[in-house]
């Protein structure tokens, strides 16, 4: 009997629908792409565990702080319950100090699937580039990056 895959049958379509839900501000719809105990590791906001928390992240963070989101994945590869891809992400800031600023970031995402749903999503991008575009002072960017570096140095091996 051939091995079965936890990956969704059409990965590109799955990820297109995933990013469309995030960009449209449909937190509950995005959360449905995850297992009940799924985790979304956001590069700015941290980890959100479970569908309720993931939906709230989209509603209370993504769309409270940004508008006109555009998120495109390319160079997808998959196998053995994992998928990786590169992405380009744009949004207009709603932060009072940077209202209307168009932010663009490039990164990579890792999807761990179980039964065709996301059990764990982690993204990697240069947070400093985003904070710089938002006009954050160098000292604040340095503090943010130092905290993130400590997590990488002291965190679990992925």
4 part of a folded domain: no
Q: Mean pLDDT in the chain?
A: 92
- pTM for this one? 0.89
Residue range(s) defining the domain that contains residue 89? 11-152
Residue 20, sorted as left (phi over 0), alpha (psi -120 to 50) or beta, turns out to be: alpha
pLDDT of residue 9: 80
Q: Judge whether residue 44 has pLDDT over 60.
A: yes
Q: Among candidates 89, 88, 100, which has minimal Cα distance to 134? A: 100
15 part of a folded domain: yes
18 part of a folded domain: yes
3 part of a folded domain: no
5 part of a folded domain: no
Could you report the per-residue pLDDT of 4-41, keeping only the tens digit for each?
568 888 999 999 999 999 999 999 999 999 999 999 99
41 part of a folded domain: yes
Q: Mean pLDDT across the stretch 45-73?
A: 95
CATH number assigned to the domain comprising residue 118:
3.10.450.50
- How far is Cα 129 from Cα 15, in angstroms, rounded to an integer? 24
Of the pLDDT bands very low, low, confident and very high (cuts 50, 70, 90), residue 2 is very low
Into how many domains does the chain fold?
A: 1
Reported as type and span, the H/E element at residue 105 is: strand 102-114
106 part of a folded domain: yes
């Amino acid at each position: 009997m051939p091995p079965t895959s936890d990956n969704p049958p059409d990965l590109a379509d799955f990820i297109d629908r995933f990013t469309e839900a995030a960009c449209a501000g449909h937190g509950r719809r995005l959360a449905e792409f995850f297992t009940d105990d799924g985790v979304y590791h956001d590069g700015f906001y941290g980890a959100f565990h479970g569908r309720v928390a993931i939906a709230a992240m989209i509603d209370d963070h993504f769309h409270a702080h940004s508008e006109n989101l555009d998120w495109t994945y390319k160079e997808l590869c998959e196998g053995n319950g994992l998928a990786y891809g590169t992405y380009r992400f744009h949004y207009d800031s709603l932060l009072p100090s940077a209202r209307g600023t168009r932010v663009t970031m490039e990164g990579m995402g890792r999807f761990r699937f179980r039964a065709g749903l996301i059990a764990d999503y982690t993204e990697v991008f240069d947070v400093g580039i985003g904070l710089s575009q938002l006009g954050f002072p160098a000292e604040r960017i340095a503090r943010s990056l130092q905290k993130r570096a400590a997590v990488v140095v002291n965190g679990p091996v992925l």
